[in-house]
Structure 1
Amino acid sequence: MYSLFKREICYFFTSPIGFTIIGLFIVLNGLFLWVFKTDYNIFNAGFADLLSFFRLSSWIFVFLVPALTMRSISEEKRSGMLTLLFTKPISAMQMVLGKYLGILFLLFVILWSSFLYVYMVWVLGTPMGNLDIAGTIGSYIALFLLIASFAAVGLWASSISSNQIISFVLAAFLCFFFFFGFDQLLALASDDFGGWGFQTHFDAISRGVLDTRNIVYFLSIIFFFLYLTTLSLKAYKQ
């Protein structure tokens, strides 16, 4: 498993993919937070706050994470490498975990790069340092759990097709649906059915209150899709 994890890391940082994803994340956030005159612009908000960053980042990751995961298994299928991996003394679950942890590592690096914005907002505050630390930490935890769930969904989408484009489109659709569309769809039936989508639980943790129900929700989503990915690999092996 460790060798697969290491292989994923090496691939991300020896190819344009890893740096392209990191660059896109920084540039898109920078443009919307500091340049474009939109609701996300921190200068237009009139106060030093990172709420715009976390809201914007959650939407960016809806499409960025599928772009990162689309090749993880589908490329292995297309090239025949997956068949070779099955000859090694490694289980399907270990294979999935190795690839998933490699993706999480890159996502962690991406989030780490965003501390630049934390520093900028810290300096812009009046007085300097006037920043809700608890809310910021809670928002980072919420964002990491959200993108970890996106990664699990994307990895499963990559496991069911040898075409990277199909994997990306399926993963992006599912991430968008679970983040935004699921609650909207349930709300059409009844207001009592709301609160099952990713966004509701993401917003709850972002307030700085770590409710175990929200954490368990995301962990359940992650384990469920990793399990589906494992089943997909086992079916391919047979």
Structure 2
Amino acid sequence: MLNIFKKEINGFLNSLIGYVVMGVFLTGIGLLMWVFPETSVLNYGFADMETLFSLGPYVFMFLIPAVTMRMFAEEQKTGTIELLLTKPLGAWEIILGKFFAGWALVALTLIPTALYYVSVYMLGSPAGNLDSAGIAGSYAGLLMLGGVFTAIGITASSLTENQIVAFISSAFACFALYSGFSSVSGMFTSGALNVERLGLLYHYNAIGRGLIDSRDLLYFASVIASALIVTRLRLASRLW
């Protein structure tokens, strides 16, 4: 698994892919937080990082599929996937190596946003007058959300040889799982059937309150595991 992880990370950092993803995310969020008047922190009248945590997931929906779309689709198209599967590597080693490499890139992208936190911290009146616990929880939620989107992207990439198809299907699946359940939850008024709880947005918001509940973490872990299991079944089908 470590060899696959290193290979993918080197592939990101030795090409424009990783830098473009990080640059687009940081530039986009930076413009939204500090420049555009509708979302600028400077126009809020109080210090918070709501712009990052409310709009960041939607930016991730497009950037993460752009990273993961080539992971298996390209290898299937070129025929190198069969060669990879015949090496002394288990299927799970290949899948987890690619998954953790993609997730690591998400984490690297979030690290520079610490500068945004420092800036907002200093803008508080008095300095430091912001909900640091809630921000820490939101960061944890955004990182877990990045893991889910990475797993979904890898699954989409394993199901097709076309990178564009992988990108579109992954972005759609991420959007549907993130906000789709919340959108249709109004159709159900019974408390016994809370459809909203099935979506990513509900659990992401719960973690963002600063109270990290094991049930929310278990939900994210379950979605990641389910997506990776589908990928494993897809790879197994190529060996039959």
One fold, TM greater than 0.5? yes
For 1:33 and 1:154, the matched residues in 2 are separated by 27
Moved over 6 A (4+): none
The Cα of 1:9 is off from its aligned counterpart by: 0.4
For 1:3 and 1:134, the matched residues in 2 are separated by 36
Counting only pairs closer than 5 Å after superposition, residues 84-123 of structure 1 correspond to structure 2 as 84-123=83-122
2:145 corresponds to:
146
For 2:154 and 2:75, the matched residues in 1 are separated by 12
The Cα of 1:109 is off from its aligned counterpart by: 0.2
For 1:137 and 1:152, the matched residues in 2 are separated by 23
For residue 135 of structure 1, give the secondary structure of its aligned residue in structure 2: helix
Check if 1:66 corresponds to 2:65. yes
TM-score calculated relative to the size of structure 1: 0.96
Do the aligned residues in 1 keep the contact of 2:32 with 2:51 (CA within 8 Å)? no
2:197 corresponds to:
195
For residue 86 of structure 1, give the secondary structure of its aligned residue in structure 2: helix
1:98-130 per-residue CA deviation (whole Å, 9 max, x = no partner) reads 100111111110011211111111121112222
Check if 1:4 corresponds to 2:4. yes
The Cα of 1:190 is off from its aligned counterpart by: 3.9
Check if 1:52 corresponds to 2:47. no
2:238 corresponds to:
236
Amino acid across the alignment from 2:23:
G
The Cα of 1:78 is off from its aligned counterpart by: 1.1
Amino acid across the alignment from 2:31:
L
Check if 1:75 corresponds to 2:77. no
Counting only pairs closer than 5 Å after superposition, residues 114-193 of structure 1 correspond to structure 2 as 114-190=113-189, 192=191, 193=194
For 2:132 and 2:182, the matched residues in 1 are separated by 29
Give the aligned CA root-mean-square deviation in angstroms: 1.2
For 1:232 and 1:187, the matched residues in 2 are separated by 35
The Cα of 1:189 is off from its aligned counterpart by: 4.0
For 2:159 and 2:181, the matched residues in 1 are separated by 22
1:158-179 per-residue CA deviation (whole Å, 9 max, x = no partner) reads 0000100000000000000001
1:214 corresponds to:
216
Amino acid across the alignment from 2:133:
A
TM-score calculated relative to the size of structure 2: 0.95
Identical-pair percentage: 40
Query: Aligned to 1:227, which of 229, 234, 237?
Result: 229
